Amino acid sequence: MSLKSNIYRFLLFISMILLTSWSEPKNPRMDLSNEAILPKPVSVTAFGSSFELNANTKIFVKGESAELLKIGHYLANLIKPATGFDLKVITSTSKKPKSNYIYLTISGLESELGTEGYKLHITKKNISINANGPEGIFHGIQTLRQVLPKEIEAASKQKMKWFIATGEIYDYPQYEYRGAMLDVSRHFFIAEDVKKYIDMLAAYKLNVLHLHLSDDQGWRIETKSWPNLTVHGGSTAVNGGTGGFYTQEEYKEIVRYAKEQYITIIPEIDMPGHTNAALASYPELNSSGEAPELYTGIKVGFSTLDTKKEITYQFIKDVLRELSEMTPGPYIHIGGDESHVTLMEDYIPFINKVQDIVLANGKQMIGWDEIVHADLKAKTVVQFWARPKNAQKGVEKKAKIILSPANKAYLDMKYDSITKLGLYWAGYVNIDCAYNWNPSTLIPGISKKDILGIESPLWTETITNMEELEFMVFPRIIGHAEIGWTPDSLRDLNDYKVRLEKHSDRLKIKGINYYDPNAIFKDEPEAKE
């Protein structure tokens, strides 16, 4: 063969290669089913290719819903820091544009999706999130965030391409109540910290933040009709800490901020026990007529309102009226736990009366599991933490149950014997223990239909700041979020741990001080004495 024909054949070969590569999509092949999504979605179908998010991608909000438009901007703001892209948010009732869009659409989908479910559809050309309600779109965005490269969580611009695996995710929660509780009484957390916590909870599709606003050690909500509650009762914390309280404006701002992320705030005023801060502020609430000293220790069960005094109920009416006026959510939590110095014959009529006050304010009552001894009205909710028998009795009385089993769901329990922070009266709660249980089989006689959902409380006797909070909360709360969201039949400990391991890179990038059982030297903050 001549040199000329060899050159000719070589050129032909090269041009064929170039032609094929031009006609191939330039986006890499990616597998959506390999992504570590937490909580695990109901179904994931991979299409095998990828979508590239770039500076020209636009967010298209179908229709003229102001709420959806706000979510569109939320998405744009989420994407901006790490990508540097200032994505345009376009709203229109006209037809969807053709390519490089993220569509957010509320449309009547399968009823199975409910108000919180969503369908996330990713092709090479576009992304769409469909849902029956704005909450669903919001949750779909949290999933989209987790299928973007992990660097999306960076606070500053990253030099990289932003490919997302193509496919479809169909997803909805198994329980309607998926909560966290923060005790701001033992140690106070300022409103800005509560907002940071709200951001963290929303990322895992939690939808409730229960604030434990009063206890023996501190009263944390401005109560205009009884001002000494905060002036005196809010002035300190465990170990003589600085204390503090939310002004009503700050509380309303927390409620507003949470609502934007589809999180309902549930305020708790714990009574008749856990009331030393109130008793110390107003002598007339005490049986003796004398106010005790403020309390900065961590014992429980020694205080009680006088359940027989008329002034006690005036006090509760005022407090719950002010609280209800600032709380758009349907629930008021009245505590009711560990009232060890209140006689049962006094406790029962007390809870009955408080329940009537809650109802008169147009709210549903939630109480810790001890409240089952009272006459529960329809819609009152029982929060199980200690005694399975109480939860069973609650179900007999037709109450719905929130599950917070202390030996699995309490975020203040130590991970193991060498954890410096936390307590261990309910046992150690390591990552496996926090994840490996099913709400619907936990307590004999209590099945899925009786359960409103699950909640992860963080009591703060030993927790003084956000670094410590993060260490105790993460990653256990991610497991709890999955228990609340993902059908039990799709959950598996080993699969969860593989996803969690991958996901931990995102926690690192976000700067969350999470507990890593594999780290030899854990970044655990020193426990304060």
- The Cα 114–Cα 173 span in angstroms is 9
Instruction: Confirm whether 338 is a catalytic residue.
Output: yes
Tokens of 176: 């309607």
Least Å distance, CB 460 to ligand ACM, is: 12
Least Å distance, CB 56 to ligand ACM, is: 52
Q: How far is CA 408 from CA 246, 336, 384, 453, 477, in A?
A: 30, 21, 12, 14, 11
Residue closer to ligand ACM, measured from CB, 212 or 363: 212
Residue closer to ligand ACM, measured from CB, 79 or 271: 271
User: Under DSSP, is residue 417 helix (H, G, I), strand (E, B) or coil?
Assistant: coil
Residue closer to ligand ACM, measured from CB, 322 or 412: 412
- Which residue is associated with the tokens 């986006």? 27
Q: Tally the residues of the chain.
A: 529
Of the candidate residues 337, 412, 455, 470, the single one contacting ligand ACM (CB under 6 A): 337
Do 361 and 433 meet the contact criterion of CB atoms below 8 Å apart?
Answer: no
Residue at shortest CB range from ligand ACM: 337
Binding mask 38-67 for ligand ACM (x = CB under 6 A): ------------------------------
For residues 228, 188, 330, 171, the Cα torsion angle rounded to the nearest 10 degrees is 170
Give the chain's end-to-end CA distance (angstroms, integer): 89
Of the candidate residues 204, 368, 437, 496, the single one contacting ligand ACM (CB under 6 A): 368
Least Å distance, CB 379 to ligand ACM, is: 21
Least Å distance, CB 286 to ligand ACM, is: 22
Which of 153, 338, 468, 482 is catalytic? The answer is 338
Of the candidate residues 162, 385, 471, 474, the single one contacting ligand ACM (CB under 6 A): 385
**Environment class of residue 293 by beta-carbon count within 10 Å: exposed (0-12), middle (13-18) or buried (19+)?**
exposed
How many residues bind to ligand ACM according to rule CB under 6 A?
4
Tokens of 291: 């106010």
Which among 283, 319, 271, 279 has a CA at the least distance from the CA of 295? 279
Vertex 112: Cα angle to 109 and 116 (nearest 5): 80
Which among 167, 98, 101, 169 has a CA at the least distance from the CA of 131? 169
Phi, psi of 451 (to 5 degrees): -105, 125
Least Å distance, CB 370 to ligand ACM, is: 9
Least Å distance, CB 283 to ligand ACM, is: 26
Residue closer to ligand ACM, measured from CB, 139 or 333: 333
Least Å distance, CB 282 to ligand ACM, is: 23
Residue closer to ligand ACM, measured from CB, 357 or 409: 409
Residue closer to ligand ACM, measured from CB, 153 or 337: 337
Residue 268 is a binding residue for ligand ACM (CB under 6 A): no
Phi, psi of 475 (to 5 degrees): -100, 10
User: Under DSSP, is residue 350 helix (H, G, I), strand (E, B) or coil?
Assistant: helix
- The Cα 71–Cα 507 span in angstroms is 23
Of the candidate residues 338, 450, 468, 524, the single one contacting ligand ACM (CB under 6 A): 338
Catalytic center residues: 338
**Interface contacts to ligand ACM, rule CB under 6 A:** 337-338, 368, 385
